[in-house]
Structure 1
Amino acid sequence: MSDPAAVLHPLTERYASWLALPDHLTADTSDEDPEDVVLMPVVLRIERGTPPARTALLEAAAVSALSVCLDERSAPEGPWHAAVSEWVAGRIRKVTRRARGSHWRAVEDFAGVTVSVGGAEARALLPTRLSEMPRELTRLQISGSELPHDDPGEPPAGVPVLWLNPEVDMSAGKAAAQVGHATMILAALLHGDVCTGGQRSARADRELRGWVDDGFRCAVRTPSPEQWRELLPTEDPATAWHRRGVAAVRDAGFTEIDPGTVTVLAQWPR
Protein backbone atom coordinates (compact mmCIF):
# COMPACT_ATOMS: atom_id res chain seq x y z
CA MET A 1 0.00 0.00 0.00
CA SER A 2 1.33 3.43 -0.89
CA ASP A 3 1.91 6.13 1.72
CA PRO A 4 -1.41 8.04 1.88
CA ALA A 5 0.25 11.29 2.97
CA ALA A 6 3.16 11.39 0.53
CA VAL A 7 1.64 14.40 -1.22
CA LEU A 8 2.10 16.36 2.04
CA HIS A 9 5.87 15.86 2.14
CA PRO A 10 6.69 19.51 1.19
CA LEU A 11 4.57 20.68 4.12
CA THR A 12 6.49 18.39 6.48
CA GLU A 13 9.75 20.02 5.43
CA ARG A 14 8.44 23.58 5.79
CA TYR A 15 6.74 23.29 9.17
CA ALA A 16 9.68 23.83 11.52
CA SER A 17 11.23 26.65 9.47
CA TRP A 18 7.87 28.45 9.28
CA LEU A 19 7.40 28.40 13.06
CA ALA A 20 10.99 29.54 13.59
CA LEU A 21 10.27 32.88 11.92
CA PRO A 22 9.92 35.94 14.19
CA ASP A 23 6.50 36.53 15.74
CA HIS A 24 6.14 39.78 13.80
CA LEU A 25 6.66 38.10 10.42
CA THR A 26 4.91 39.60 7.43
CA ALA A 27 3.87 37.59 4.44
CA ASP A 28 6.17 38.34 1.51
CA THR A 29 4.02 38.08 -1.59
CA SER A 30 6.19 40.27 -3.80
CA ASP A 31 7.11 37.29 -5.95
CA GLU A 32 3.58 36.37 -6.99
CA ASP A 33 0.97 37.60 -9.41
CA PRO A 34 -2.34 37.94 -7.49
CA GLU A 35 -4.22 36.34 -10.37
CA ASP A 36 -1.80 33.38 -10.35
CA VAL A 37 -2.31 32.54 -6.67
CA VAL A 38 -3.42 28.93 -6.11
CA LEU A 39 -6.17 28.46 -3.53
CA MET A 40 -8.21 25.62 -2.11
CA PRO A 41 -11.86 26.73 -2.02
CA VAL A 42 -13.74 25.48 1.05
CA VAL A 43 -17.49 26.01 0.85
CA LEU A 44 -19.61 26.02 3.99
CA ARG A 45 -23.29 25.14 3.69
CA ILE A 46 -25.20 27.75 5.69
CA GLU A 47 -28.91 27.64 4.93
CA ARG A 48 -30.88 30.73 5.89
CA GLY A 49 -33.53 29.06 8.06
CA THR A 50 -31.50 26.16 9.42
CA PRO A 51 -27.90 27.27 10.01
CA PRO A 52 -25.54 24.57 11.31
CA ALA A 53 -23.85 24.52 14.68
CA ARG A 54 -20.54 26.38 14.49
CA THR A 55 -18.39 23.64 16.00
CA ALA A 56 -19.83 20.90 13.79
CA LEU A 57 -19.28 23.05 10.71
CA LEU A 58 -15.65 23.72 11.64
CA GLU A 59 -15.05 20.01 12.20
CA ALA A 60 -16.55 19.25 8.79
CA ALA A 61 -14.31 21.86 7.17
CA ALA A 62 -11.22 20.50 8.94
CA VAL A 63 -11.90 16.99 7.69
CA SER A 64 -12.85 18.02 4.15
CA ALA A 65 -9.59 19.88 3.46
CA LEU A 66 -7.44 16.91 4.47
CA SER A 67 -9.77 14.48 2.70
CA VAL A 68 -9.01 16.13 -0.64
CA CYS A 69 -5.27 15.86 -0.02
CA LEU A 70 -5.34 12.20 0.98
CA ASP A 71 -8.02 11.10 -1.46
CA GLU A 72 -6.88 8.26 -3.73
CA ARG A 73 -7.39 10.64 -6.66
CA SER A 74 -4.59 12.82 -5.23
CA ALA A 75 -2.09 9.93 -5.33
CA PRO A 76 0.74 10.16 -7.89
CA GLU A 77 -1.23 8.24 -10.49
CA GLY A 78 -4.52 10.01 -9.76
CA PRO A 79 -6.26 12.79 -11.72
CA TRP A 80 -6.03 15.26 -8.81
CA HIS A 81 -2.32 14.80 -8.09
CA ALA A 82 -0.97 17.66 -10.19
CA ALA A 83 -3.33 20.23 -8.71
CA VAL A 84 -2.88 19.11 -5.11
CA SER A 85 0.89 18.65 -5.24
CA GLU A 86 1.45 22.05 -6.86
CA TRP A 87 -0.66 23.70 -4.17
CA VAL A 88 1.01 21.91 -1.24
CA ALA A 89 4.45 22.77 -2.64
CA GLY A 90 3.56 26.48 -2.46
CA ARG A 91 1.57 28.47 0.08
CA ILE A 92 -1.36 26.38 1.30
CA ARG A 93 -3.90 29.16 1.06
CA LYS A 94 -7.59 28.47 1.42
CA VAL A 95 -10.55 30.68 0.62
CA THR A 96 -13.75 29.96 2.53
CA ARG A 97 -17.12 30.85 1.03
CA ARG A 98 -20.70 30.17 2.08
CA ALA A 99 -23.50 28.73 -0.01
CA ARG A 100 -27.10 27.63 0.31
CA GLY A 101 -29.90 26.27 -1.83
CA SER A 102 -29.16 26.09 -5.54
CA HIS A 103 -25.71 27.62 -5.05
CA TRP A 104 -24.76 24.73 -2.78
CA ARG A 105 -26.07 22.22 -5.29
CA ALA A 106 -23.97 23.89 -7.99
CA VAL A 107 -20.84 23.58 -5.84
CA GLU A 108 -21.37 19.82 -5.59
CA ASP A 109 -20.69 19.52 -9.33
CA PHE A 110 -17.04 20.57 -8.86
CA ALA A 111 -14.25 18.15 -7.99
CA GLY A 112 -13.90 17.88 -4.24
CA VAL A 113 -15.03 16.14 -1.06
CA THR A 114 -18.10 16.91 1.03
CA VAL A 115 -18.01 16.06 4.72
CA SER A 116 -20.98 16.07 7.08
CA VAL A 117 -20.61 16.31 10.86
CA GLY A 118 -23.68 16.52 13.06
CA GLY A 119 -25.79 17.74 10.17
CA ALA A 120 -23.28 20.44 9.17
CA GLU A 121 -21.75 20.21 5.70
CA ALA A 122 -18.54 21.57 4.19
CA ARG A 123 -17.06 20.84 0.78
CA ALA A 124 -13.36 21.32 0.03
CA LEU A 125 -12.61 21.62 -3.67
CA LEU A 126 -9.61 20.90 -5.78
CA PRO A 127 -7.07 23.77 -5.54
CA THR A 128 -7.25 26.19 -8.44
CA ARG A 129 -5.72 29.44 -9.61
CA LEU A 130 -7.71 32.50 -8.67
CA SER A 131 -7.85 33.53 -12.32
CA GLU A 132 -9.34 30.15 -13.26
CA MET A 133 -11.95 29.94 -10.49
CA PRO A 134 -15.37 29.44 -12.09
CA ARG A 135 -18.14 31.97 -11.77
CA GLU A 136 -20.20 29.59 -9.64
CA LEU A 137 -17.52 29.93 -6.95
CA THR A 138 -16.48 33.58 -7.30
CA ARG A 139 -20.09 34.70 -6.89
CA LEU A 140 -20.33 33.07 -3.47
CA GLN A 141 -19.95 35.38 -0.49
CA ILE A 142 -16.85 35.26 1.69
CA SER A 143 -18.38 37.44 4.40
CA GLY A 144 -21.49 36.57 6.35
CA SER A 145 -20.29 33.17 7.50
CA GLU A 146 -20.48 34.09 11.18
CA LEU A 147 -22.32 31.70 13.46
CA PRO A 148 -22.95 31.93 17.20
CA HIS A 149 -20.47 30.17 19.42
CA ASP A 150 -21.80 26.95 20.88
CA ASP A 151 -20.76 24.70 23.73
CA PRO A 152 -20.00 21.22 22.37
CA GLY A 153 -18.71 19.89 25.68
CA GLU A 154 -15.55 17.90 26.29
CA PRO A 155 -13.84 16.44 23.22
CA PRO A 156 -14.21 12.68 22.77
CA ALA A 157 -11.30 10.56 23.87
CA GLY A 158 -8.78 9.30 21.36
CA VAL A 159 -9.28 11.86 18.59
CA PRO A 160 -7.08 14.82 17.60
CA VAL A 161 -8.23 18.10 19.10
CA LEU A 162 -7.91 21.40 17.25
CA TRP A 163 -7.77 24.11 19.91
CA LEU A 164 -8.79 27.58 18.70
CA ASN A 165 -6.95 30.58 20.13
CA PRO A 166 -9.35 31.97 22.77
CA GLU A 167 -7.79 35.42 22.54
CA VAL A 168 -8.32 35.89 18.80
CA ASP A 169 -11.69 36.73 17.29
CA MET A 170 -12.10 34.81 14.03
CA SER A 171 -15.15 34.52 11.82
CA ALA A 172 -16.41 31.00 11.18
CA GLY A 173 -14.98 31.25 7.66
CA LYS A 174 -11.53 32.23 8.91
CA ALA A 175 -11.57 29.54 11.59
CA ALA A 176 -12.63 26.95 9.01
CA ALA A 177 -9.53 27.68 6.94
CA GLN A 178 -7.29 27.52 10.01
CA VAL A 179 -8.55 24.14 11.23
CA GLY A 180 -8.11 22.88 7.67
CA HIS A 181 -4.46 23.91 7.91
CA ALA A 182 -4.23 22.12 11.27
CA THR A 183 -5.39 18.72 10.02
CA MET A 184 -2.99 18.96 7.10
CA ILE A 185 -0.08 19.76 9.43
CA LEU A 186 -0.96 16.84 11.71
CA ALA A 187 -1.01 14.40 8.80
CA ALA A 188 2.20 15.88 7.42
CA LEU A 189 4.00 15.49 10.75
CA LEU A 190 2.82 11.90 11.11
CA HIS A 191 4.06 11.31 7.56
CA GLY A 192 7.41 12.83 8.51
CA ASP A 193 7.69 10.44 11.45
CA VAL A 194 6.85 7.54 9.16
CA CYS A 195 9.78 8.50 6.97
CA THR A 196 12.36 8.67 9.78
CA GLY A 197 12.58 4.90 10.33
CA GLY A 198 12.78 2.90 13.53
CA GLN A 199 10.20 2.23 16.22
CA ARG A 200 8.57 5.64 15.98
CA SER A 201 8.07 5.07 12.25
CA ALA A 202 6.01 1.93 12.83
CA ARG A 203 3.85 3.67 15.43
CA ALA A 204 3.32 6.73 13.27
CA ASP A 205 2.41 4.54 10.33
CA ARG A 206 -0.27 2.77 12.37
CA GLU A 207 -1.61 6.06 13.72
CA LEU A 208 -1.80 7.69 10.32
CA ARG A 209 -3.49 4.74 8.71
CA GLY A 210 -5.87 4.46 11.64
CA TRP A 211 -6.82 8.12 11.20
CA VAL A 212 -7.42 7.55 7.50
CA ASP A 213 -9.69 4.59 8.33
CA ASP A 214 -11.55 6.73 10.88
CA GLY A 215 -12.32 9.36 8.26
CA PHE A 216 -9.95 11.90 9.87
CA ARG A 217 -12.36 12.41 12.77
CA CYS A 218 -11.31 15.31 14.97
CA ALA A 219 -12.72 17.72 17.54
CA VAL A 220 -12.64 21.52 17.45
CA ARG A 221 -12.72 23.22 20.83
CA THR A 222 -11.85 26.57 22.43
CA PRO A 223 -9.76 26.27 25.61
CA SER A 224 -9.61 28.75 28.44
CA PRO A 225 -6.77 31.29 28.18
CA GLU A 226 -4.96 29.36 30.91
CA GLN A 227 -5.29 26.07 29.03
CA TRP A 228 -4.10 27.76 25.86
CA ARG A 229 -0.95 29.05 27.51
CA GLU A 230 -0.22 25.58 28.92
CA LEU A 231 -0.61 24.01 25.47
CA LEU A 232 1.34 26.67 23.59
CA PRO A 233 4.76 25.25 22.63
CA THR A 234 7.64 26.94 24.40
CA GLU A 235 10.23 24.51 23.03
CA ASP A 236 11.24 24.14 19.40
CA PRO A 237 8.52 22.77 17.04
CA ALA A 238 10.10 19.32 16.65
CA THR A 239 10.38 18.83 20.42
CA ALA A 240 6.81 20.01 21.03
CA TRP A 241 5.57 17.51 18.47
CA HIS A 242 7.58 14.49 19.60
CA ARG A 243 7.19 15.04 23.33
CA ARG A 244 3.65 16.38 23.56
CA GLY A 245 2.01 15.76 20.18
CA VAL A 246 1.30 19.47 19.74
CA ALA A 247 1.58 21.39 16.47
CA ALA A 248 0.85 25.07 15.91
CA VAL A 249 -0.80 26.91 13.03
CA ARG A 250 0.60 30.37 12.47
CA ASP A 251 -1.28 32.73 10.20
CA ALA A 252 0.42 34.65 7.44
CA GLY A 253 -1.80 37.67 8.06
CA PHE A 254 -3.57 37.93 4.71
CA THR A 255 -7.02 38.42 6.30
CA GLU A 256 -8.62 39.35 9.63
CA ILE A 257 -5.71 38.87 12.04
CA ASP A 258 -2.12 39.98 12.52
CA PRO A 259 0.66 38.05 10.77
CA GLY A 260 2.44 35.53 12.95
CA THR A 261 -0.58 34.87 15.17
CA VAL A 262 -0.95 31.29 16.37
CA THR A 263 -4.56 30.53 15.50
CA VAL A 264 -4.85 26.80 16.26
CA LEU A 265 -2.96 24.28 18.38
CA ALA A 266 -3.45 20.78 17.02
CA GLN A 267 -3.03 18.10 19.67
CA TRP A 268 -2.52 14.49 18.64
CA PRO A 269 -3.86 11.95 21.21
CA ARG A 270 -1.16 10.30 23.28
Structure 2
Amino acid sequence: MSTPVERSTSTSSTSTSPFRDEAPDRDEAPQFVLPLVVRIERDAPPGRTDALETAARAVLTLLADERSTAPDGEWAEAVRDWQDARIRKVVRRARGAEWRRAGALPGITVTGDAAEVRVFPPVPLDAWPKDLARLQVSGTELDEPQPPAAPAPGVPVLWMNPDVAMSAGKAMAQAGHGAQLAWWELSAEERAAWAASGFRLAVRTAAPADWPRLTAAGLPVVRDAGFTEIAAGSCTVVAAHPALKGATP
Protein backbone atom coordinates (compact mmCIF):
# COMPACT_ATOMS: atom_id res chain seq x y z
CA MET A 1 0.00 0.00 0.00
CA SER A 2 1.30 3.44 -0.84
CA THR A 3 1.81 5.86 2.02
CA PRO A 4 0.42 9.40 2.15
CA VAL A 5 2.67 12.28 1.18
CA GLU A 6 3.15 15.24 3.46
CA ARG A 7 2.23 18.42 1.56
CA SER A 8 2.82 21.23 3.98
CA THR A 9 3.35 24.74 2.70
CA SER A 10 5.80 27.04 4.45
CA THR A 11 5.26 30.75 3.99
CA SER A 12 6.26 33.96 5.68
CA SER A 13 5.20 37.49 4.94
CA THR A 14 8.57 38.43 3.48
CA SER A 15 10.22 35.28 2.16
CA THR A 16 9.89 33.35 -1.05
CA SER A 17 12.38 31.09 -2.78
CA PRO A 18 15.91 32.49 -2.43
CA PHE A 19 16.67 31.49 -6.01
CA ARG A 20 14.20 33.73 -7.88
CA ASP A 21 13.93 37.50 -8.16
CA GLU A 22 10.15 37.26 -8.32
CA ALA A 23 7.82 34.88 -6.52
CA PRO A 24 7.15 31.86 -8.77
CA ASP A 25 3.91 29.99 -9.15
CA ARG A 26 4.90 27.27 -6.78
CA ASP A 27 2.08 24.93 -7.81
CA GLU A 28 3.10 25.05 -11.47
CA ALA A 29 6.75 24.25 -10.80
CA PRO A 30 7.93 20.61 -10.74
CA GLN A 31 7.27 19.27 -7.26
CA PHE A 32 10.00 17.83 -5.06
CA VAL A 33 10.03 16.56 -1.50
CA LEU A 34 12.73 16.47 1.17
CA PRO A 35 12.83 13.02 2.79
CA LEU A 36 13.71 12.67 6.46
CA VAL A 37 13.94 9.34 8.24
CA VAL A 38 13.85 9.10 12.03
CA ARG A 39 15.26 6.04 13.73
CA ILE A 40 12.70 4.50 16.07
CA GLU A 41 13.88 1.24 17.56
CA ARG A 42 11.27 -0.68 19.54
CA ASP A 43 13.29 -0.76 22.74
CA ALA A 44 14.83 2.74 22.55
CA PRO A 45 12.65 5.35 20.84
CA PRO A 46 13.79 8.98 21.10
CA GLY A 47 11.86 11.59 23.04
CA ARG A 48 9.48 13.79 21.08
CA THR A 49 11.24 17.14 21.64
CA ASP A 50 14.63 15.56 20.92
CA ALA A 51 13.28 14.21 17.61
CA LEU A 52 11.74 17.56 16.64
CA GLU A 53 14.93 19.48 17.37
CA THR A 54 17.07 16.93 15.55
CA ALA A 55 14.83 17.05 12.47
CA ALA A 56 15.06 20.85 12.37
CA ARG A 57 18.84 20.70 12.67
CA ALA A 58 18.98 18.07 9.93
CA VAL A 59 17.15 20.37 7.50
CA LEU A 60 19.55 23.22 8.29
CA THR A 61 22.55 20.94 7.95
CA LEU A 62 21.50 19.93 4.44
CA LEU A 63 20.79 23.54 3.45
CA ALA A 64 24.26 24.61 4.58
CA ASP A 65 26.14 21.65 3.10
CA GLU A 66 28.51 22.43 0.20
CA ARG A 67 26.80 19.75 -1.87
CA SER A 68 23.69 21.96 -1.67
CA THR A 69 25.26 25.42 -1.81
CA ALA A 70 28.11 25.14 -4.31
CA PRO A 71 27.02 25.97 -7.88
CA ASP A 72 28.32 22.59 -9.04
CA GLY A 73 27.35 20.72 -5.89
CA GLU A 74 25.86 17.28 -6.47
CA TRP A 75 22.66 18.23 -4.62
CA ALA A 76 22.49 21.90 -5.69
CA GLU A 77 20.08 21.51 -8.62
CA ALA A 78 17.66 19.36 -6.64
CA VAL A 79 17.74 21.79 -3.72
CA ARG A 80 17.09 24.76 -6.03
CA ASP A 81 14.20 23.00 -7.75
CA TRP A 82 12.72 21.96 -4.41
CA GLN A 83 12.87 25.46 -2.94
CA ASP A 84 11.37 26.98 -6.09
CA ALA A 85 8.23 24.88 -5.63
CA ARG A 86 6.25 23.88 -2.56
CA ILE A 87 8.48 23.27 0.43
CA ARG A 88 7.47 19.69 1.09
CA LYS A 89 8.99 17.43 3.72
CA VAL A 90 8.07 13.87 4.57
CA VAL A 91 9.18 12.15 7.76
CA ARG A 92 9.27 8.35 7.74
CA ARG A 93 10.44 5.93 10.38
CA ALA A 94 12.94 3.10 10.25
CA ARG A 95 14.53 0.55 12.54
CA GLY A 96 17.08 -2.21 12.26
CA ALA A 97 17.84 -3.27 8.70
CA GLU A 98 15.56 -0.53 7.32
CA TRP A 99 17.69 2.10 9.05
CA ARG A 100 20.90 0.52 7.76
CA ARG A 101 19.59 0.49 4.19
CA ALA A 102 18.53 4.14 4.49
CA GLY A 103 21.98 4.97 5.82
CA ALA A 104 23.58 3.58 2.69
CA LEU A 105 21.83 6.19 0.50
CA PRO A 106 23.35 9.65 -0.04
CA GLY A 107 22.34 11.89 2.84
CA ILE A 108 23.37 13.24 6.24
CA THR A 109 22.64 11.72 9.65
CA VAL A 110 22.18 14.22 12.46
CA THR A 111 22.05 13.15 16.10
CA GLY A 112 20.45 14.73 19.15
CA ASP A 113 20.51 13.58 22.75
CA ALA A 114 19.16 10.19 21.69
CA ALA A 115 17.43 10.94 18.39
CA GLU A 116 18.90 10.08 15.00
CA VAL A 117 17.47 11.66 11.85
CA ARG A 118 18.83 11.16 8.35
CA VAL A 119 18.02 13.80 5.76
CA PHE A 120 18.31 13.14 2.04
CA PRO A 121 18.58 15.47 -0.95
CA PRO A 122 15.18 16.36 -2.45
CA VAL A 123 13.58 13.86 -4.80
CA PRO A 124 10.69 14.22 -7.28
CA LEU A 125 7.36 13.76 -5.56
CA ASP A 126 6.64 10.53 -7.44
CA ALA A 127 10.19 9.14 -7.70
CA TRP A 128 11.32 8.11 -4.21
CA PRO A 129 14.30 5.75 -3.88
CA LYS A 130 12.98 2.25 -3.28
CA ASP A 131 14.53 1.88 0.16
CA LEU A 132 12.84 5.10 1.32
CA ALA A 133 9.51 4.60 -0.44
CA ARG A 134 8.89 1.36 1.48
CA LEU A 135 9.24 3.05 4.87
CA GLN A 136 6.12 3.95 6.83
CA VAL A 137 4.88 7.48 7.55
CA SER A 138 2.53 6.35 10.32
CA GLY A 139 3.74 5.16 13.69
CA THR A 140 5.86 8.15 14.61
CA GLU A 141 4.14 8.75 17.94
CA LEU A 142 6.77 9.57 20.54
CA ASP A 143 6.55 10.23 24.25
CA GLU A 144 8.22 12.97 26.25
CA PRO A 145 10.38 11.42 29.01
CA GLN A 146 10.14 14.63 31.01
CA PRO A 147 8.97 18.19 30.33
CA PRO A 148 11.66 20.10 28.42
CA ALA A 149 13.44 22.90 30.27
CA ALA A 150 12.97 26.51 29.29
CA PRO A 151 15.17 27.48 26.30
CA ALA A 152 18.51 28.99 27.22
CA PRO A 153 18.84 32.74 26.57
CA GLY A 154 19.92 33.56 23.04
CA VAL A 155 18.99 30.18 21.56
CA PRO A 156 16.75 30.21 18.46
CA VAL A 157 13.33 28.82 19.35
CA LEU A 158 10.79 27.20 17.08
CA TRP A 159 7.49 27.83 18.87
CA MET A 160 4.79 25.25 18.17
CA ASN A 161 1.11 26.19 18.16
CA PRO A 162 -0.39 25.10 21.51
CA ASP A 163 -3.83 24.60 19.96
CA VAL A 164 -2.90 22.27 17.07
CA ALA A 165 -2.39 18.58 17.81
CA MET A 166 0.06 16.80 15.51
CA SER A 167 1.74 13.43 15.36
CA ALA A 168 5.47 13.49 16.04
CA GLY A 169 6.22 12.94 12.35
CA LYS A 170 4.01 15.81 11.29
CA ALA A 171 5.51 18.05 13.98
CA MET A 172 9.04 17.13 12.87
CA ALA A 173 8.25 18.27 9.35
CA GLN A 174 6.73 21.50 10.65
CA ALA A 175 9.79 22.20 12.83
CA GLY A 176 11.93 21.69 9.73
CA HIS A 177 9.79 24.20 7.85
CA GLY A 178 10.21 26.75 10.62
CA ALA A 179 13.99 26.31 10.71
CA GLN A 180 14.14 26.72 6.94
CA LEU A 181 12.11 29.93 6.97
CA ALA A 182 14.39 31.39 9.63
CA TRP A 183 17.42 30.37 7.53
CA TRP A 184 16.04 32.22 4.51
CA GLU A 185 15.71 35.41 6.57
CA LEU A 186 19.28 35.46 7.88
CA SER A 187 22.31 37.16 6.38
CA ALA A 188 25.35 35.14 5.31
CA GLU A 189 27.14 36.13 8.50
CA GLU A 190 24.18 35.13 10.67
CA ARG A 191 23.91 31.80 8.89
CA ALA A 192 27.61 31.14 9.40
CA ALA A 193 27.32 31.88 13.11
CA TRP A 194 24.35 29.51 13.44
CA ALA A 195 26.20 26.79 11.57
CA ALA A 196 29.26 27.28 13.79
CA SER A 197 27.07 26.58 16.83
CA GLY A 198 26.01 23.25 15.34
CA PHE A 199 22.62 24.81 14.57
CA ARG A 200 21.77 25.07 18.22
CA LEU A 201 18.02 25.53 18.65
CA ALA A 202 15.06 24.62 20.79
CA VAL A 203 11.57 23.46 19.91
CA ARG A 204 8.93 24.32 22.47
CA THR A 205 5.15 24.60 22.61
CA ALA A 206 4.12 28.21 23.16
CA ALA A 207 1.93 29.18 26.08
CA PRO A 208 -1.61 29.81 24.79
CA ALA A 209 -1.47 33.40 26.02
CA ASP A 210 1.78 34.03 24.10
CA TRP A 211 0.74 32.55 20.74
CA PRO A 212 -1.16 35.62 19.38
CA ARG A 213 1.80 37.85 20.19
CA LEU A 214 4.24 35.48 18.50
CA THR A 215 2.21 35.23 15.30
CA ALA A 216 1.91 39.03 15.13
CA ALA A 217 5.60 39.74 15.79
CA GLY A 218 6.70 39.78 12.15
CA LEU A 219 8.63 36.52 12.50
CA PRO A 220 8.52 33.67 9.97
CA VAL A 221 5.31 31.69 10.39
CA VAL A 222 4.60 28.23 8.97
CA ARG A 223 1.11 27.78 7.54
CA ASP A 224 0.08 24.26 6.64
CA ALA A 225 -1.45 23.35 3.30
CA GLY A 226 -3.98 21.11 5.01
CA PHE A 227 -3.41 17.86 3.13
CA THR A 228 -2.84 15.79 6.27
CA GLU A 229 -3.90 15.93 9.92
CA ILE A 230 -4.75 19.63 10.28
CA ALA A 231 -6.85 22.27 8.55
CA ALA A 232 -5.47 24.25 5.63
CA GLY A 233 -3.98 27.56 6.64
CA SER A 234 -3.28 26.50 10.21
CA CYS A 235 -0.32 28.34 11.72
CA THR A 236 1.89 25.64 13.18
CA VAL A 237 5.28 27.18 13.98
CA VAL A 238 6.77 30.60 14.63
CA ALA A 239 10.53 30.78 14.11
CA ALA A 240 12.13 33.12 16.65
CA HIS A 241 15.82 33.47 15.83
CA PRO A 242 17.51 36.16 17.96
CA ALA A 243 18.83 37.86 14.81
CA LEU A 244 15.31 38.45 13.49
CA LYS A 245 13.30 41.52 14.34
CA GLY A 246 10.44 40.62 16.64
CA ALA A 247 12.22 37.68 18.29
CA THR A 248 11.71 37.44 22.03
CA PRO A 249 14.14 36.17 24.67
Residues 266 and 11 (structure 1 numbering): CA distance in 2 closer, same or farther, change over 3 Å?
farther
Matching residue of 1:40: 34
Selected match of 1:162 from 137, 158, 165: 158
Structure 2 gap segments, 5+ residues each = 1-16, 244-249
Residues 12 and 137 (structure 1 numbering): CA distance in 2 closer, same or farther, change over 3 Å?
farther
Return the offset for 1:151.
1.1
Structure 2: distance between partners of 1:12 and 1:110: 33
User: Which amino acid in 2 is paired with 1:71?
Assistant: D
Residues 113 and 13 (structure 1 numbering): CA distance in 2 closer, same or farther, change over 3 Å?
farther
Structure 1: distance between partners of 2:21 and 2:52: 23
Matching residue of 1:230: 213
Return the offset for 1:11.
8.3
Is residue 49 of structure 1 aligned with residue 43 of structure 2? yes
Indicate the RMSD between aligned Cα atoms, in angstroms.
Answer: 2.2
Identity value in percent? 46
User: Which amino acid in 1 is paired with 2:233?
Assistant: G
Query: Over residues 63-98 of structure 1, what are the superposed CA-to-partner deviations in whole Å (9 max), with x where a residue is unaligned?
Result: 111211210111212111111111111111011100
Q: Is the 8 A contact 2:31 2:82 kept in 1?
A: no
Structure 1: distance between partners of 2:148 and 2:162: 15
Q: Which has the larger radius of gyration?
A: 1
Return the offset for 1:230.
2.2
Is residue 101 of structure 1 aligned with residue 110 of structure 2? no
More helix by share: 1
Residues 117 and 268 (structure 1 numbering): CA distance in 2 closer, same or farther, change over 3 Å?
same
Matching residue of 2:231: 258
Matching residue of 1:89: 84
Equivalence map 1:160-239=2 (5 Å):
160-190=156-186, 194=187, 205-233=188-216
Structure 1: distance between partners of 2:85 and 2:189: 28
Could you state the TM-score of these two structures normalised by the residue count of structure 2?
0.84
Return the offset for 1:165.
0.5
Equivalent pairs, count: 225
Structure 1 gap segments, 5+ residues each = 1-7, 19-27, 195-204, 235-239, 241-245
Could you state the TM-score of these two structures normalised by the residue count of structure 1?
0.78
Return the offset for 1:158.
1.6
Return the offset for 1:12.
9.6
Structure 2: distance between partners of 1:249 and 1:151: 24
